[in-house]
């Protein structure tokens, strides 16, 4: 008899819902619970909430401790970008002796920004013999894991440059709004000041690259600039006249003590961006460049990556782990090999 990996979904927003729908297609996975605090979802069947087209017999609950008592192996957690906001949620899961995969961006590589909290989470996870992993497409894959994987083929690495160019007009309306499309430059800058226009994760990816490859990065600087339309552009949802904002260009650089740059990450998301791509340039022995023409689709990939990491959690050492520490490929065989762990 073959056992399934029992998963609880923690957070049933648009991304969490996409993960549930994807997990329903994976024969290795059984969804056994769902947690959310949204009153509009509480008590409803998870299948209805995520648009699965059928009931799953799983009511959405806000009582995490009780849901986790159902004997899950792994929690997939998608609630917030800020580690301080989710730390208590994560600790509740870890204390229930359940592995956790979270898309919290600050958890993707938390050691530099939150050293004390990282240590605490690592300690709690080890104490309860489970692993905690922050991952997703970005941070967690496109601008860090992919870099480190390519760098395996290099004898030496001195500098890394990563670009992610997204044509926002091909994405959901919320993303188009999130990048400031249609705003005046002044409105855009006010939203940047307010912390609203900001992709979370570039410093985390920069830190992961630098620390993993032994690059001397003492300081990480981040800038967020508008991409202004020189001629009118439009998407299905938004029209941007010349002079207004098409989207955002966000750059993080990792500098050594002398101000020399060793890591540069550029994330540009704007309407009508030509030649969308994910690209990596490594300066080293040898130099190596990689390109994914068209780029990795953010929404599809974030759900894919978190779900594809589920089996690997059973193989992972207890403690706080990151994308760099795990093999990152979907292994149907794992559940056959490790029956003892999930029996």
The binding site for a copy of itself (CB under 8 A) comprises 22, 25, 137, 141-142, 145-146, 148-156, 211-214, 285-286, 288-294, 296-297, 300-301, 303-305, 307-309, 315, 317, 324-333
Nearer CB in complex with a copy of itself: 92/138: 138
Nearer CB in complex with a copy of itself: 207/226: 207
CB of 68 to a copy of itself, least distance (A): 26
The number of C-alpha atoms within 13 Å of 100 and in the hemisphere containing its C-beta is: 34
Give dist(CA 140, CA 105) in Å, integer: 8
Q: Which residues contact 11 (CB under 8 A, 6 or more apart)?
A: 35, 36, 77, 78, 79
CB of 61 to a copy of itself, least distance (A): 27
Tell me what percent of the chain is helix, strand and coil, each rounded to the nearest 5: 35, 30, 40
CB of 83 to a copy of itself, least distance (A): 20
Nearer CB in complex with a copy of itself: 65/336: 336
Token pair listed for 86: 């989710």
Nearer CB in complex with a copy of itself: 268/305: 305
Q: Which residues contact 119 (CB under 8 A, 6 or more apart)?
A: none
56: exposed, middle or buried (Cβ count in 10 Å: 0-12, 13-18, 19+) = middle
Distances in whole angstroms, Cα of residue 339 to Cα of each of 7, 23, 33, 331, 334: 16, 19, 21, 14, 8
CB of 25 to a copy of itself, least distance (A): 7
- Strands, E, within the chain: which ranges? 5-10, 29-35, 60-61, 74-77, 99-102, 131-134, 156-167, 219-228, 233-234, 239-240, 245-255, 261-270, 277-285, 288-293, 319-322
Nearer CB in complex with a copy of itself: 127/287: 287
CB of 147 to a copy of itself, least distance (A): 9
Nearer CB in complex with a copy of itself: 79/279: 279
- Strands, E, within 67-148: which ranges? 74-77, 99-102, 131-134
CB of 102 to a copy of itself, least distance (A): 16
Residue (of 183, 192, 265, 264) closest to 229 by Cα position:
183
Nearer CB in complex with a copy of itself: 92/135: 135
CB of 189 to a copy of itself, least distance (A): 33
């Amino acid at each position: 008899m073959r056992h399934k990996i029992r998963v609880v979904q923690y957070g049933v927003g648009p991304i969490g819902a996409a993960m549930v729908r994807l997990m329903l297609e994976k024969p290795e996975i059984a969804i056994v619970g769902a947690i959310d605090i949204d009153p509009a979802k509480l008590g409803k069947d998870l299948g209805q909430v995520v648009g699965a087209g059928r009931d799953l017999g799983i009511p959405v609950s806000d009582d995490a401790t009780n849901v986790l008592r159902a004997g899950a192996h792994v929690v997939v957690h998608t609630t917030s970008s800020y580690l301080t906001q989710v730390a208590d949620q994560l600790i509740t899961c870890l204390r229930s002796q359940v592995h956790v995969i979270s898309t919290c961006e600050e958890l993707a590589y938390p050691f530099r920004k939150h050293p004390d909290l990282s240590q605490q989470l690592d300690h709690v996870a080890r104490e309860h013999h489970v692993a905690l992993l922050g991952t997703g497409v970005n941070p967690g894959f496109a601008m860090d894991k992919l870099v480190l994987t390519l760098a395996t083929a290099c004898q030496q690495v001195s500098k890394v440059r990563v670009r992610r160019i997204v044509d926002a007009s091909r994405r959901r309306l919320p993303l188009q709004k999130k990048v400031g499309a249609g705003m005046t430059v002044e409105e855009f800058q006010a939203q940047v000041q307010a912390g609203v226009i900001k992709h979370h994760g570039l410093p985390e990816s920069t830190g992961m690259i630098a620390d993993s490859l032994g690059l001397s990065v003492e300081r990480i600087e981040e800038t967020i600039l508008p991409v202004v339309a020189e001629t009118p552009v439009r998407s299905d949802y938004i029209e941007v006249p010349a002079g207004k904002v098409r989207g955002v260009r966000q750059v993080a650089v990792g500098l050594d003590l002398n101000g020399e740059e060793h890591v540069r990450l550029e994330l540009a998301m704007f309407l009508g961006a030509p030649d969308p791509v994910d690209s990596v340039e490594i300066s080293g022995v040898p130099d190596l460049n990689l390109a994914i023409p068209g780029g990795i689709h953010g929404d599809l990939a974030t759900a894919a990556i978190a779900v594809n990491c589920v089996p690997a959690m059973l193989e992972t050492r207890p403690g706080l782990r990151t994308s760099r520490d795990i093999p990152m490929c979907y292994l149907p065989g794992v559940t056959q090999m490790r029956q003892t762990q999930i029996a």
